[in-house]
Structure 1
Amino acid sequence: MNHSIKKIIKKAAEKLILQKGFRDTTIKEISKSAKISVGTIYRYYKNKEEILNDIGRMDLKDVSYSQDNKRKEIMNVALDVFGTKGYTRTNMEDIANKMGMSKAFIYQYFNNKDELFLSTIRESSQMQTIFNLSKINEPINIEESLTEIGMTFLSIFKNPRKLKLMRIIIAETPNFPEIGEFFFRQVVEKVTESLSKILKPYASSDIDPVLSIRLFIGAIWSLVFLQEMLPLKDRKYDDKAIIRNAIKIFQHGFLKYDNNS
């Protein structure tokens, strides 16, 4: 099965569904956007549901474009308020006032502050690229895959809003352990365990794949986190250099050693 074709189809489908909603998006429109024939799409997928399932976003099936936009608007405002006041001192009224809406409007989409905050973490983390990569069942190019993983994680620190989210999680976790626990279970743990499965066949027998991928991600995050959080402008490293060197260290310490090389 041609992974590159499926990747193009999924990317086009997700973009259109986010723009128009699931019901209003057709296979024909997906084929046009992907510049792939309708027949080619049907060789890989029976219907739109199968495409969504492969993307890992079945939640998009029941959300219309207008509903999705309103939810995103609420979460965007909530992220700003949480970032300014912190989770503890923020209430639903603060978010409603910032939007110029009533609390009742927000409660149509979120049952309480906890649900809103956790949804904001889930959506803002944007790890879909990683989750999609973890579904690959075919042989992979280790270096290309690790580069994609590394650049996805680095992108969090290039977005001020995502960086603000990380600050909130770190600041609030001591008082509300469930926040850190949620982020760890829903993002860190899911990502590392999924990725370790596709990397395991390439690993030395005495290496723990889960721990190794966490060390790889941790090495990238810790360096960039210090660069972005502290005034180290004159000592910053280029993104590609960070990823390239992290991959070299990972490959030489993690992958099977070839005695003939």
Structure 2
Amino acid sequence: MKIELQVTDPMLLRTFLAEQAISKKSLSAIKRNGALLVNGIRQTVRANVVPGDVVTVVLPAETPSASLVPSEGPLEILYEDDALCIVNKPAGVSTMPSQLHPHDSLVERVLAHFREQRTAGIPHIVTRLDRQTSGVVIFAKHQLIHHWMTGIIDKVYLCAATGRLPARGRIDLPIRRKSESIIERITAPDGKPALTSYLTLLRSEHSVALVRLHTGRTHQIRVHFKAIGHPLLGDTLYGTDQSTGRQALHAFQVTFSHPVTARLITIQAPVPHDLRFVIPI
């Protein structure tokens, strides 16, 4: 994989690469198994670059984990380029393998897609969803791209919650793992900071809300909505409602600045059929 970067100020190539958030570890790997070019000519990090120069970073090839088994399961691609692959995850598919569900994970389906397309790169999970949550999942095609994506994504979900939510709200409650469980989370003063905001779109026997995550704790939306007395429909871990076959939660939209081109990108995943009767958006 190659990345082209435009120089705007005179400096050492080493300094320029550091300003692009290329870590010393990544730079060492690039020098060992990749290449650095300035205007098409190989250079060392001690070279000087000037405005107008084009720096090409040839990223080293990566090998996927031996535990990943490419899966030919169905894959809905919402967006793809040389750096990213963004897909619409169905409910009932794990983002990554687990002890209970060791194969046919989403990452293994993406790996099979990469091999079929002869894509240079391996899938690195940027955003992940619970097995029974549907919607947008982002994969980077190299570790460096994954690093560049950290913390720059605006995530918006759609959910259906029990009861009648206020018109809007902010839930600022720390979250930690429940002591006697390896899965369940709770709100607690000694937990990690967690902030969720929401806008209620519909209210009838239940409420439909547009939810924005400001932090990324495990089960954050599910735990926060339980904490305010409105657990999600179908969420039997944090509530009692069984009107849907799974928690009524869908990762609807992501917005971010592309890590290579800096172009603002917004990707949406339509509400799946199994939730349209409770989230009629």
| TM above 0.5 | no
TM tier relative to shorter chain:
under 0.3
With the length of structure 1 as denominator, give the TM-score of the two structures: 0.23
* More helix by percentage: 1
TM-score, with normalisation over the residues of structure 2? 0.22
Larger radius of gyration: 2
